[in-house]
Structure 1
Amino acid sequence: MTSETLYNLILTTAQENTAILMIGSEGSRNDPTVTPDQYQDFDITYFVSDDVFPTFDVFDRSRFGDMMIQQILPEKNRWCWLMQFMDGNRLDLKIQPVSVVPDYLAEDTLNTILLDKTGHYTNLTATSDRTHWVQRPTQSEFDDSITEFFWVSTYVLKGILRGELLYANTFFESIVREELYRLLTWRIGRDTDFSLSVGKAHKRLPAYFEGLESLYDLSDLTGTGQALSTALKMANDLLPSLSHDLQLTYDVATVDRTTDYILRQL
């Protein structure tokens, strides 16, 4: 079925089921900064009366399409099914008791109510990505990120020198590159007065920084060494102005020593 057909089915299912009192919608389909495309998920929550909520673990989901694969995530105070259908549609469907609606709307500015049989939530403000904006770091967060970046860079170096590609790549990908992206994200926040989101998995970073693709050439030890060298250069180029503009401090001597130590051995 088309995505429009699935959307209408989501609505009619709730309209016809007396236990479902509201439909909540969240995620990218409510984000005004996102260009819609055929790959967007439907992130939907059915809010049901508190007394019937415990029975919705057996809610019939086959109506939404021919299932390819699903992941079932029962969590506290909700049921959650992540469903990929053979027609290409994907639906993340959650069931929550209606008593949690105030918290649901407060926790994320992308959350909204599509259908309200109770009439309590008919004049909601427009959705925005405000709760996903880059947050100004505290001194502690700044310290922790810089320390983690440079400390774990020595692990990557050790793996390279030992000839242990998987060891080196694991620490580079999971920590060093992620902490670099954290610093780059704060730079974007600084430049935009902390008024935007860089998207899930940092997907908007390439629009602001060139050369990030070089951080993914990790097929051999030479590539990993070059990626580490590039990451160190980017961090060192960034830190002086970033710390100055955010009015934060960092241990320049330690950064310089560690950088020099690593680069001399690569």
Structure 2
Amino acid sequence: MMSLLDKLLDLANKNNSIRALVMNGSRVNPNITPDEYQDYDIVFYVNNYQGFIKDFSFIDTLGEVLVKQTSLDQRDGLETINESFTYMVQYKDGSRIDLTIRDIKYVLEDFKSDSLSMVLLDKEGLGLDNNPNESSYYVKKITKEDFTFTVNEFYWVCPYIAKGIKRRQLFYAMKHLDIIRHELENMIDWWIGDNHNFEVSVGKGKSRYKDLLSQGIYRQYVLTYPKLSRIEITKALKIAINLFDLLASELAKTYNFIYDNTIKENILLFFKTNYDL
């Protein structure tokens, strides 16, 4: 029985419009342990883009479709449709394809911009070297501007959470907790990057935090995901603040950035004085 990838290669070989087939993502990542749930991230580079995207009848020949989404189904899909068309399919047998259609003129540019790329079919004789690696996904080096923006956003949003807790508006508090957790993740990423010379990826959805962080820091991060209760959200908020302050202070010293070392205590005192937290 042919695999989904075999079917795609067979299709691409037989269709003269498809000039190259490139696979991206986890299936070409040498640092990822393969499993049965990985998507096939595939790009067809074609020589008649506008004509090709008018007929996707071949999708149904690859398997029994459970659910699908194309650029036409996405809120912002029309913004990029002149250069790129996406067709994503979940098949009932568990296999999934994230298929992108691009004009062949973009293949060199795309190959250079995404280090997790492997050419599986090349009818144009492009001679691209397959050496997939994670370099395009390394943590970006910290800058003074990004550090300052992150610190400001984190502490600016914190009082919203406290107010939501006091009012017993727990959904409101949780939604704002999500915002500061995002800023905390920025700080964690930079801290990890600094410890690995910014030659490291934290993984999709921060999947490598457990491996890259000390047990103590990782545990604190986990505790920023609380149950929906005033007590638990309050604990999560204070843990997030303490962890953020710890990492921000270290990075500020390392890179000679300005950081107010009194802000944590001032924020916590504000919570106690105004919201009894």
Q: With the length of structure 2 as denominator, give the TM-score of the two structures.
A: 0.89
Q: Which residue of 2 aligns with 1:219?
A: 228
Q: Which residue of 1 aligns with 2:177?
A: 172
Q: Which residue of 1 aligns with 2:77?
A: none
Q: Which residue of 2 aligns with 1:144?
A: 149
Please list every run of 5 or more consecutive structure 2 residues that lacks an aligned counterpart in the other structure: 73-80
**Which stretch of structure 1 is more off in the superposition, 198-207 or 81-90?**
198-207
Letter of the 1:210 partner, please give it.
Y
Q: Which residue of 1 aligns with 2:16?
A: 18
Q: Which residue of 2 aligns with 1:182?
A: 186
Q: Which residue of 2 aligns with 1:101?
A: 107
SS of equivalent to 1:163: coil
Task: Select 2:198's aligned residue among 194, 197, 213.
Answer: 194
1:205 aligns with 2:217: no
User: In the TM superposition, what is the alpha-carbon distance from 1:263 to its structure 2 partner?
Assistant: 5.3
**Deviations 1:188-216 (CA, angstroms, capped at 9, x unpaired):** 00111111100111121122133132211
Distance 1:140 1:256, change over 3 A: farther
- Tell me the C-alpha RMSD between the 2 structures: 1.7
Distance 1:223 1:183, change over 3 A: same
Paired residues in the alignment total: 261
**Deviations 1:189-247 (CA, angstroms, capped at 9, x unpaired):** 01111111001111211221331322112321111111001101111222221211233
**Deviations 1:37-86 (CA, angstroms, capped at 9, x unpaired):** 1111000011110x354332322211111111011115331221111010
Distance 1:240 1:263, change over 3 A: farther
Q: Which residue of 2 aligns with 1:76?
A: 82
Distance 1:227 1:52, change over 3 A: closer
Distance 1:54 1:262, change over 3 A: farther
Task: Select 2:51's aligned residue among 51, 54, 58.
Answer: 54
Letter of the 2:25 partner, please give it.
G
* CA distance, structure 2, for counterparts of residue 219 and residue 166 of structure 1: 8
**Which stretch of structure 1 is more off in the superposition, 184-193 or 112-121?**
112-121
* CA distance, structure 2, for counterparts of residue 34 and residue 52 of structure 1: 32
Letter of the 2:150 partner, please give it.
S
Identity %: 28
- Check the 8 A contact 2:49/2:102 in 1, yes or no: no
1:234 aligns with 2:240: no
Please list every run of 5 or more consecutive structure 1 residues that lacks an aligned counterpart in the other structure: none
- Check the 8 A contact 1:84/1:91 in 2, yes or no: yes
- Check the 8 A contact 1:218/1:227 in 2, yes or no: no
User: In the TM superposition, what is the alpha-carbon distance from 1:259 to its structure 2 partner?
Assistant: 3.5
Task: Select 2:122's aligned residue among 102, 116, 125.
Answer: 116
- Check the 8 A contact 1:42/1:92 in 2, yes or no: yes
User: In the TM superposition, what is the alpha-carbon distance from 1:102 to its structure 2 partner?
Assistant: 1.6
**Deviations 1:137-158 (CA, angstroms, capped at 9, x unpaired):** 1111000001111111111111
SS of equivalent to 2:166: helix
Task: Select 2:136's aligned residue among 131, 134, 137.
Answer: 131
Distance 1:263 1:229, change over 3 A: farther
- Check the 8 A contact 2:46/2:52 in 1, yes or no: no
SS of equivalent to 2:142: coil
**Deviations 1:114-163 (CA, angstroms, capped at 9, x unpaired):** 10011113x41401110110111111100000111111111111100111
* CA distance, structure 2, for counterparts of residue 149 and residue 82 of structure 1: 35
> Runs of 4 or more off by more than 6 Å in structure 1?
none
- Check the 8 A contact 1:42/1:91 in 2, yes or no: yes
